Amino acid sequence: MERILKAIKKHIIVYWIFVKNNIMAQMEYRVNFFSGIAMEIGYLFVKLLYVIVIFRSGANINGFTPNELLIFAGTFIILTGFHAGLFMVNFISMRTLVREGMLDFYMVKPVSVQFIATLRRSDMGLFVTDVTAGIILVALGVIRMKLSLTILQILGYAMFIACGVAIGYSLFLIPQILTFWFINTSAIGETFNSFWDINNVPMVVFGKWFQRIGIFVIPIFVVTNFPALFILDKMSPLYFAWGLIAPVVAFVLVRLLWKVAIRNYSSASS
């Protein structure tokens, strides 16, 4: 147990170094840094267009009010911050690491190869922008609904956010791992990335069978729908249990797939 705790502590320290290095690198070109934030703010307005339309019409979607949809939209934006700000830039470069043999340098480091390859780069400007905007939207929805949240509800919401982050990381890493066997996996990656925007609306807008697939087979709906359902007190016991189990299952499976891929990895110089 002590050994595991030491390993976790070491990886946290290394990740903090990654974050600081990325911030320093981005601040060398401050115009690009702030223009990137401005672009992300523009994307946020586009993402919120459907919420604005719903508010103006005052329509309910399968029993969800406009204020409740505001919480769904805010949760989606929070998790988009994690996906786009912390993971996506690393996943996109995975093909280059494998194809050009740059992964060789990471394999001799005293930390997990998967950890370095998938978390070494980040865009803190994008991350902070999305997470802040998402929290404001969720808070606005809670205030408009006059919800009296307890500490346990807030912690539960944060817990399901963390579960969503873990599932999102695992799901979208899968097509990148396939790079170890296939020359070009860009089409698969783009297909998976298109799944992310499905979460821009609550899963109740889709048919029952599509919902079941998106919850229990490819758990994309667990990522952003479950935190909102929890805070709105609309989560069934089955969903609550699966929301905690799914990230563990997803991470274990992707970890096993990664180990198989590393065993079959051939250096570019070999």
Q: What is the mean pLDDT of residues 239-260?
A: 95
Name which residue leads in pLDDT, 12 or 62. 12
Position 47 scores a pLDDT of 75
Burial of 4-42, coded b for 16+ CB within 10 Å and e otherwise, reads eeeeeeeeeebbeebbeebeeebeeeeeebeebbeebee
Position 254 scores a pLDDT of 95
- pLDDT tens digits, 176-202: 888 888 766 666 667 777 778 888 788
Q: Check pLDDT > 90 for residue 240.
A: yes
- pLDDT tens digits, 122-157: 988 889 999 999 999 999 999 999 988 899 999 999
CB neighbours of 156 closer than 8 A, spacing ≥ 6?
A: 230, 231
* Domain locations along the chain: 2-263
Position 170 scores a pLDDT of 94
Q: Check pLDDT > 70 for residue 259.
A: yes
Q: Considering only the C-alpha atoms of the chain, give the largest distance between any 2 of them, rounded to a whole number of Å.
A: 63
- pLDDT tens digits, 35-93: 878 887 888 887 777 777 777 777 777 778 888 988 999 999 999 999 989 998 898 88
Position 253 scores a pLDDT of 95
Position 107 scores a pLDDT of 83
From the centroid of its chain, how far is CA 117? 16
Position 194 scores a pLDDT of 74
Q: What is the mean pLDDT of residues 244-258?
A: 95
Position 5 scores a pLDDT of 83
Name which residue leads in pLDDT, 162 or 10. 162
- pLDDT tens digits, 97-114: 887 777 888 888 888 899
